[in-house]
Amino acid sequence: MGRLFWKFFLFIWLGQMAAVFGTGALFWVERRNFENRLDNGGRPPAAGEFRVHRPSQARSDGNPHEGPPPPRHEPGGMHLPWLPMVAGCIASIFCTAGLAWYFAAPIRHLRRGFDAVADGGLDVRVAPGMGGRRDELADLGRDFDRMTERLQSLMGAQKRLLHDVSHEMRSPLARLQAAVGLARQQPDKLSGSLQRIERESERMNQLIGELLTLSRLEAGVTGAIEAVDMGELLREIVEDARFEGSARQVGVDFQSGPMAEVQANSELLHRAIENVVRNALRYSPEGGDIRIEAGRRDGGVFHIAVSDCGPGVGADETEIIFRPFFRGATHRAGEGYGLGLAIARQVVAASQGTIRAGNRQNGGLVVAIDIPTRPSPLADQPGKAGFSV
């Protein structure tokens, strides 16, 4: 038995004992008062009066048979109801022990759960051991389970991230080592080896930069929040996308609706939408096109939809494509690190928005972004509307 059990037991038992003895004493006092009323011929005794009757003296005429009747009760010692009080004490012991056990048992169960988590056992769950309880202690057990599930998810994500980072860093490092070795063995090809070293160094620098950005976003560091003109931001992104897509004859169809302003970090939001657009360009075949639809919608949100004509993703991959380093079955070697959509999700979430993905009926992937708007004169500008994804 733990200390909490004995504390519950002691305080509750003492309270019950006080109630038992207080009730017994009250009944004893009432009984004495009732007996005194009977002895006084029905006259209630004065306050604090306990009259004791003694044998009456004979009358002056010498008749010993006349005079007041003998008392009904000869007061003696205190006759407390010991038997009921002892029975109440025994019953209170069992009642108090059960009540203390009822409170202390789930707390001990929770303590064992905390000990298991402290030892690294994040798969422990305490709610099933609470039985059919429907009180605050059962709620605490369910909260504990949610906490361990969240910790287990975060720890698993960190382990996967560490594994993926190690894997991604290994390839450019191996190529760097090979280029250095080749430069030593073949000095006449030093120029080509230096170009390879420079290229691989740039790839590692880009990977580290994206990792740092993702880490800051997951830690809640989003930089300065300001009013962002979505019309101006999208024009820059579309212009860059058309320039990049022209190398592979991939067209960019931009359908603009009513523009608005949103509250976000301008640089990060630009990067997030650009990552989504570049992902669509990457997976669109040569001669294909991508479609960008953007505009303010009812409900105070600014909607952006980027769709391509690529192979799309599996039905079970529409959520996990936003995880760091995820590559679907359609990924082509050498194309990115799988961090672009993960960064986009973090940026949109920091702007109180949502991002989701789905396959188009006629092939390809569509990524939709909704960000809350802020009141702005731009909201009254005319534009095309009515598109949907």
Better-predicted residue by pLDDT, 232 or 93: 232
Q: Are residues 259 and 370 in the same domain?
A: yes
Instruction: Answer yes or no: is pLDDT of 334 > 60.
Output: no
| CB proximity list for 161: less than 8 A, separation 6 or greater | 324, 325
DSSP state letters, 347-374: HHHHTT-EEEEEE-TTSSEEEEEEEEEE
Instruction: Answer yes or no: is pLDDT of 79 > 70.
Output: no
- Two tokens, residue 375: 């009141």
Q: Are residues 343 and 272 in the same domain?
A: yes
Q: Which of these is catalytic: 73, 79, 163, 167?
A: 167
Overall average pLDDT of the 57-85 stretch:
52
Q: Are residues 101 and 246 in the same domain?
A: no
Q: Is residue 23 situated within a structural domain?
A: yes
Phi and psi at residue 331, to the nearest 5°? -65, 140
- Where is mean pLDDT largest: 97-111, 122-136, 168-182? 168-182
Overall average pLDDT of the 214-242 stretch:
89
**CA 166 – CA 160 distance, rounded (Å):** 10
Contact (CB, 8 A) for 351 and 257: no
364-380 core/surface letters (b: 16 or more CB in 10 A; e: else) = bbbbbbbbbbbebebee
**Chain centre to alpha carbon of residue 117:** 17
DSSP state letters, 236-267: HHHHHHHHHHGGGT-EEEEEE----EEEE-HH
- Two tokens, residue 38: 């009977």
Q: Is residue 138 situated within a structural domain?
A: no
168, containing H or E segment: helix 136-185
How many domains, in total, are found in the chain? Answer: 3
In percent, the amount of the chain with pLDDT more than 90 equals: 23
**Chain centre to alpha carbon of residue 146:** 7
Q: Is residue 56 situated within a structural domain?
A: no
Domain stops at, among 121, 146, 175: 121
Instruction: Answer yes or no: is pLDDT of 332 > 90.
Output: no
Residue in this structure with the two tokens 């960064």, named with its chain if needed: 343
**Chain centre to alpha carbon of residue 96:** 37
Phi and psi at residue 265, to the nearest 5°? -85, 120
167 as an active site residue: the answer is yes
Q: Is residue 146 situated within a structural domain?
A: no
- Two tokens, residue 128: 């099933």
Residue in this structure with the two tokens 């070697």, named with its chain if needed: 333
**CA 351 – CA 269 distance, rounded (Å):** 9
Task: State residue 333's pLDDT score.
Answer: 47
Residue in this structure with the two tokens 């099933």, named with its chain if needed: 128
Q: What is the pLDDT of residues 257-309, one digit of tens each?
A: 999 999 999 999 999 999 999 999 988 888 889 999 999 998 889 999 999 98
Q: Are residues 214 and 244 in the same domain?
A: no
| One-letter amino acid of 263 | Q
| CB proximity list for 377: less than 8 A, separation 6 or greater | none
Instruction: Answer yes or no: is pLDDT of 378 > 80.
Output: no
Q: Are residues 285 and 231 in the same domain?
A: yes
- Two tokens, residue 288: 């294909």
Q: Are residues 362 and 257 in the same domain?
A: yes
Contact (CB, 8 A) for 217 and 254: no
Q: Are residues 208 and 271 in the same domain?
A: no
Q: What is the pTM of this model?
A: 0.58
Q: Are residues 214 and 323 in the same domain?
A: no
- Two tokens, residue 42: 């029905």
Q: Is residue 250 situated within a structural domain?
A: yes
Q: Are residues 304 and 194 in the same domain?
A: no
Q: Are residues 193 and 239 in the same domain?
A: no
- CATH code where residue 336 lies: 3.30.565.10
SS3 341: helix
Q: Which domain range does residue 273 map to?
A: 226-380
Q: Is residue 141 situated within a structural domain?
A: no
Q: Are residues 186 and 304 in the same domain?
A: no
Q: What is the pLDDT of residues 14-45, one digit of tens each?
A: 777 777 777 777 777 777 777 777 766 655 55
SS3 164: helix
Task: State residue 379's pLDDT score.
Answer: 41
Q: Are residues 192 and 278 in the same domain?
A: no
Q: Is residue 232 situated within a structural domain?
A: yes
Exposure on the CB side of residue 268, measured as CA atoms within 13 A: 28
- CATH code where residue 169 lies: 1.10.287.130
Q: Is residue 135 situated within a structural domain?
A: no
Give residue 225's region: left, alpha or beta (phi > 0; psi -120 to 50): beta
